[in-house]
Amino acid sequence: MKLISIVAILSILFIIELIYFKIAASFNIIDKPNARSSHQTITLRGGGIIFCLSAIIYFTLYGYQYPYFMVGLLAITAISFIDDVLTLNNKIRLSIHLIAVLLMFYQWGLFDLNWYWIPVALVFVVGTINAYNFMDGINGITGSYSLLAIGTLYFINEKNVLFTSSDFLIIIGLSLIVFNFFNFRKKAKCFAGDVGSVSIAFIIVFLVGQLILKTENFNYILLLLIYGLDAVVTIIFRVLRKENIFKAHRSHFYQYLANEKKCSHLVVSVLYFFVQFVLIS
């Protein structure tokens, strides 16, 4: 992608995000602190909608690639945004999530493989999306961690094995830069919301799945190791404490650092970024 195209798309994404802020403020789409929160001030919610919108830009400009994935992304983004605003019945939300995931599987060509790959992939995809959603609780963590994942995937695509569109990776990376500009700060201008954490997880899982299917190397799951470890260890400890694992909580290690140890959100986010970077280097 030429530099002028990168600058143009980056500028468009900034404008789109600013327009969304106006809309969110007008319709009171905000995140109010509660007993489970790691922040103390009212903040605009849903800034992560920029991830799906950037994917739409790619889809429109670059020949309508990955149509089934895009339909799934639009569906899971839409239902997550509605859930951010209205709080939907779990059965409705999970049904749309399942349809979106099955569309992703179809885009991968997974139904052409042996049947047992379906439940394996389902556990991986649903687990990762939920882990991303659980981990999105402090300023900077989702944006920085996701930017590292996309940057690593771009490097692999350019230097090791061509498994997807580099232009797609660049545009998603630009949307993460825009989001981080407003979120990776002491007092965030916006939070990703479920619409952001779920959509970027859906995108990254799709890309990692493409890479695994192309190379038949499952080690690439390690690109998401730190998020996965935090989520799994937290679930284990909550089960041992006989807590309801489906109930909202503040038991993640990053929450412990931010809330109990009073570490800066940005310091914790950089720590997660750095540890993941070291592991994949």
Instruction: Name the pLDDT band for 33 (thresholds 50, 70, 90).
Output: low
Burial of 69 per CB tally in 10 Å (0-12, 13-18, 19+) = buried
Q: What percent of the chain has pLDDT over 70?
A: 96
pLDDT by residue (tens digit) across 209-258? 999 999 999 999 999 999 989 988 888 888 888 887 767 677 888 988 98
Q: What is the phi/psi pair of residue 185, to 5°?
A: -155, 165
Is the separation of the CB atoms in 90 and 73 below 8 Å? no
- Render pLDDT for 163-217 as a digit per residue (tens, 0 to 9): 999 999 999 999 999 999 999 999 999 999 999 999 999 999 999 999 999 999 9
Length of the chain: 281
pLDDT digits (tens, 9 = 90+) for 67-122: 999 999 999 999 999 999 987 888 999 999 999 999 999 999 999 999 999 999 99
pLDDT at 240: 83
Distance, CA of 244 to CA of 62 (rounded, Å) = 45
Neighbours of 261 (CB within 10 A): 8
Q: How far apart (Å, rounded) are the C-alpha atoms in residues 24 and 91? A: 26
Q: What confidence category does residue 46 fall into, taking pLDDT thresholds of 50, 70 and 90?
A: very high
**pLDDT confidence of residue 66:** 97
- Would you tell me how many other CB atoms lie within 10 Å of the CB of residue 111? 11
Residue boundaries of the structural domains of the chain: 54-280
Mean pLDDT, residues 27-50 taken together: 79
The model's pTM is: 0.95
The predicted structure's pLDDT at residue 36: 54
